[in-house]
Amino acid sequence: MLMEKISRREFLKTSGALVVTFSIASPLAEAATKRAGPAKTVAGDQVDGFIAIDAKGNVTLYSGKVDLGTGVRTALAQIAAEELSVPLEKVEVVQGDTALTPDQGITWGSLSIQAGGMQIRQACATAREALLAQGAEKLGVSRSGVYAKDGRVMVLGSEKGISYGQLVGGKNFQMKVDAKAPLKPPSAYTIVGQPVKRFEIPDIVTGRFTYMHDFKVKGMLHARVVRPAAMKANLLSVDDSAAKKVPGYVATVRKGNFLAMVAKNEWAAIRCADGVKAQWSDWQGLPDKAKLWDYVRQTKVVSDEDFQKVGDSGAAMKTGARMLTATYDFAIHTHGSQGPSCAIADHKNGKLTVWTASQATHLLRKQLGNMLGMKADDIRCIYLGGSGCYGRNGHEDAAADAALLTRELGKPVRVQWSRADEHGWDPKGPPTLLEHRAALDAGGKVVAWESMVFIPNRPKGFEVTLVAADLAGLPKDTAFPGNIHASLAIPYAFPNIKATARWLAETPFKPSWIRTPGRMQNTYANECFMDECATAAGVDPLEYRRRNLKDPRGLELLDRLARLANWTPRKGLAKASGDIVKGRGVSYTKYELVRTYVGAVADVEVNRKTGTVRVERVYMAHDCGQIINPDGIKNQLEGGVVQTVSRTLIEDLKFDRSRVTSLDWKSYPILTFPDVPDVVLDLIDRPTERPWGVGEPGTAVVPSAISNAIYDAVGIRMRSVPFTPDKVLAALRTA
Amino acid sequence: MAKNIKLMVNGKSHDLRVDDPEMPLLYALRNDLGLQGPHFGCGLEQCGACTVHIDGKAVRSCRFPVGKAAGAKILTLEGLGTPKKLHPLQAAFIEEQAVQCGYCINGMIMQAKALLDSNKRPSEAQIKEALANNLCRCGTHLRIVRAIKRASEMMA
């Protein structure tokens, strides 16, 4: 087993630079705190940035993209092993360490394979070509007389060969990644495309995997941050006399509105935080939740920006025989990681080391430097696997808490957020409002389509404000939620289209990206409205989509989806009687119009009496081009569907005028086992195409498929996520 | 009041000195004994990530006072099996790849063990019911159900 081997290999000695690093499977903090040698390059244009091969032929892959529970660690190793022609067991992956791994950007947007993996593939192809050339020379044959196999350069038609370890072990490649290095033909693949089992699962199921939360540094203190009683309240006074009596109490750290209790052990830190009496000023700056959408609509507009413009939609809108309008809204969601955020930081001799489950260690380093007035070069951020991360959640904030505290105290500090910290203080998916209108001609064809999404202002950067910097009054970056206008543009060939983002000056909660940011909201509204158009035209909704698509790959996907779900044309309303009524709905998108094709059919049951919606089954056809690991994709799609059914039916952040009030799993419930739908998948593999992303696209089509299925069942349009029983009942009453 | 406590964990006896016997067992297991199976998820007995067995019963260790656990037989995920000698549930979770981030999986396996201890061949509905109070944010539920079903077949 690979993991056993890795666990034994506590120290990895790689390349001529004698980089000493640690296995993330090893709990030994002593090993972990060893500094990397200075010569390991992290340059993304250098082969040595990405790979090192030791004398035994073991390959270390340095990945800036990290495994957030998605399986990309294994998939990236598959790509590297395949392109290098080495057995998969020979590849170990080091992830997200600013001292060791290239900055491949944030692990987001379903780009780990599509972007990060392709950089790695090219670096490995460059290395393989160099090894082949060197090997041929050593073996005394021409370059065309050798081939690569199992970590060796072999002479064609003979048993003669030389291992990679003999060729490069103990040395650097010292060459640039060659964008033209030839890639292995997919027909020769033996590792890519296989459902390889994930490396870390044996350790996870036996309690031996070291999560961020499990990691320990010798001599570390434990801290809990005491959060303001209202989001922007000022700290007026602190009485820590009771906390000081807790055995193990070490310090009360107060900096502006940042208040933390530090102790020798974790339970003492919790008791100190419970025992401290803090007085906060009153603050009631949040909008009235009952009027949230009025608030969004009335927020100051910075600008309007069109992201799709075909023909003249304004003029064409007047020519239609029939006009449709609809308004959609999508609630504020929390990430709700199962393990509240956690980090350890150690400030020593002017250098800061941070262990973090951040999806963006390189960016975090920059932000911490900005906050603390340190040079980024004096900060090292090291990734350790955390609890599921579906976007920028609290990990970076916990890291900033710990960094601030270790600098104050001069000792390593572990910060563990509470459940209330996580639910209350992680950045949120912003409230999203969409307005759609369309004109149809007498034959039911769309002659004009216009959409507008109301979202927080267009991003200039990606640095979501660190909570600690904000509270402590230290230099901070400004929060922006990411490219949330994406997927507002539609894949359908209408003659006149306008898709507009209305950029708003503010949003109630610090926004960030949560799985399928913006694309989920935009696709929800687009695909619900597409269904409304189909109904108005009197055409089966799947057929209506097909008629308006010109893209053969999209059409093939819809055909596969129809077969998978055994789709039969929907002829108006399902005319079932009784309290519980079944329906099915369809949805489709080409993600961001430039990548993964995906379609879903949802089967639902609506209880007319209680208003409860139950999603029985979701069929999904999915084309992300070349498949690296089919089981990894299935796992992501199944999980994405379940999580999105939860978001669509249940989830809604609760708050009063001062703060978030849904601070646990009772007040912010998520879908549980008895209500989980079946998921039936059809993966379309195109080995000769480039691979695209997976984690986000599959979820984009889920809310609309459910909404459309509810219409099919009981004839109501659910235009407000989540589809709670009270909203369903209200819609049924007015239907 | 500091107190000496003897904990029996995974068949081994441990002498512990704790400042507060009201400290949840979870912190003793994780921080004093260095175990990494049980996880802190909510501290509110709402999610199940911290589940261990005490005298054969699945218990949420995040609120169970360590003082009350003295003398009881405690079983954690580590005690169930090792990578070289897997318990059928662990083997089945690997076989079904029933993990995404895996943070909740400790609770899933320990709760499933409690189920299989009392019902050797549970139906799918019974499995879902038994795990109704165990949360998974990644949405690994379908694989977890398949893994538990597989384990029950392996143990038959």
Q: What confidence tens digit (pLDDT) does each residue in A695-713 have?
A: 999 999 999 999 999 999 9
Spatial separation of the C-alpha atoms in residues A497 and A530, rounded to whole Å: 13
Spatial separation of the C-alpha atoms in residues A558 and A619, rounded to whole Å: 12
CA distances from A205 to A73, A391, B101, B105 (A): 17, 25, 11, 7
pLDDT at position A572 is 67
Residues 358 to 417 of A: which have CB under 8 A from any B CB? 385-390, 416
Average of per-residue pLDDT across A100-105: 96
Among A108, A76, A107, smallest CA distance to A92 is for: A76
Could you tell me if A497 and A308 are in contact, meaning their C-beta atoms sit under 8 angstroms apart? yes
Spatial separation of the C-alpha atoms in residues A409 and A212, rounded to whole Å: 21
Q: Tell me, yes or no, if A648 comes closer than 8 A to chain B by beta carbon.
A: no
Could you tell me if A707 and A717 are in contact, meaning their C-beta atoms sit under 8 angstroms apart? yes
Q: What percent of chain A has pLDDT over 90?
A: 91
Spatial separation of the C-alpha atoms in residues B156 and B151, rounded to whole Å: 9
Which residues is B106 bridged to in the sheet? none
DSSP summary character for residue A10: -
Lowest mean pLDDT among A75-84, A262-271, A456-465, A551-560: A456-465
Q: Tell me, yes or no, if A247 comes closer than 8 A to chain B by beta carbon.
A: yes
Query: Positive or negative, the Cα torsion across A540, A541, A544, A545?
Result: negative
CA distances from A680 to A606, A635, B96 (A): 21, 12, 16
Mutate to test the interface with A, among B93, B142, B149, B150 (most CBs of A within 10 A): B142
Residue B40 with chain A: CB contacts under 8 Å: 213, 339-340, 416
pLDDT at position A10 is 33
Lowest mean pLDDT among A24-28, A379-383, A423-427: A24-28
Lowest mean pLDDT among A27-41, A348-362, A629-643, A714-728: A27-41
Residues 12 to 41 of B: which have CB under 8 A from any A CB? 19-20, 23-24, 27, 30-31, 34-41
pLDDT at position A30 is 36
Average of per-residue pLDDT across B124-137: 98
Average of per-residue pLDDT across A84-103: 97
Statement: residue A394 has pLDDT above 60: yes
Statement: residue B56 has pLDDT above 60: yes
Among B118, B117, B87, smallest CA distance to B105 is for: B87
If one counts every other C-beta atom within 10 angstroms of the C-beta of residue B15, the result is: 8
- DSSP letters, A174-195, are --B--TTSPPPPGGG-SSTTS-
pLDDT at position A461 is 75
Q: Which run of H or of E encompasses A163?
A: strand A161-163
Per-chain mean pLDDT for chain B: 97
pLDDT digits (tens, 9 = 90+) for B89-115: 999 999 999 999 999 999 999 999 999
Could you tell me if B136 and B108 are in contact, meaning their C-beta atoms sit under 8 angstroms apart? yes
pLDDT digits (tens, 9 = 90+) for A25-41: 333 333 333 333 347 99
Q: Which run of H or of E encompasses A605?
A: strand A597-607
Statement: residue A21 has pLDDT above 90: no
Statement: residue A55 has pLDDT above 60: yes
- Cβ contact (<8 Å) for B141 and A388? no
Beta strands in chain B (DSSP E): 3-9, 12-18, 51-54, 57-60, 73-75
Task: Give the number of A-B residue pairs with CB atoms closer than 8 Å.
Answer: 195
Statement: residue B37 has pLDDT above 50: yes
CA distances from A570 to A202, A535, A575, A579 (A): 46, 10, 11, 21
pLDDT digits (tens, 9 = 90+) for A562-602: 999 999 999 766 566 789 999 999 999 999 999 999 999 99
pLDDT at position A16 is 31
pLDDT digits (tens, 9 = 90+) for A176-196: 999 999 999 999 999 999 999
Spatial separation of the C-alpha atoms in residues A300 and A302, rounded to whole Å: 6
pLDDT digits (tens, 9 = 90+) for A274-306: 999 999 999 999 999 999 999 999 999 999 999
Q: What percent of chain A has pLDDT over 70?
A: 93
Residues 53 to 72 of B: which have CB under 8 A from any A CB? none
Per-chain mean pLDDT for chain A: 93
Tell me the pairing of strands A235-239 and B51-54: unpaired
b/e code A724-734 from CB counts within 10 Å (16+ = b): beebbbebeee
Q: Can you read off the two tokens belonging to residue A250? A: 């070490």
Nearest-by-CA chain B residue for A267: B23
Q: Which residue has the higher pLDDT, A349 or A573?
A: A349
Beta strands in A206-257 (DSSP E): 221-226, 235-239, 249-255
Statement: residue A18 has pLDDT above 70: no
pLDDT at position A735 is 83
- Cβ contact (<8 Å) for B138 and A204? no
pLDDT digits (tens, 9 = 90+) for A245-259: 999 999 999 999 999
Average of per-residue pLDDT across A78-100: 98
pLDDT digits (tens, 9 = 90+) for A450-484: 999 999 987 677 788 999 999 999 999 876 667 89
- Cβ contact (<8 Å) for A206 and B101? no
Could you give the ipTM of this predicted complex? Answer: 0.99
pLDDT at position A435 is 98
From the number of C-beta atoms within 10 Å of its C-beta (0-12, 13-18, 19+), residue B153 rates as exposed
pLDDT at position A483 is 82
Residues 92 to 151 of B: which have CB under 8 A from any A CB? 93-94, 97, 99-106, 109, 125, 127-129, 131-143, 145
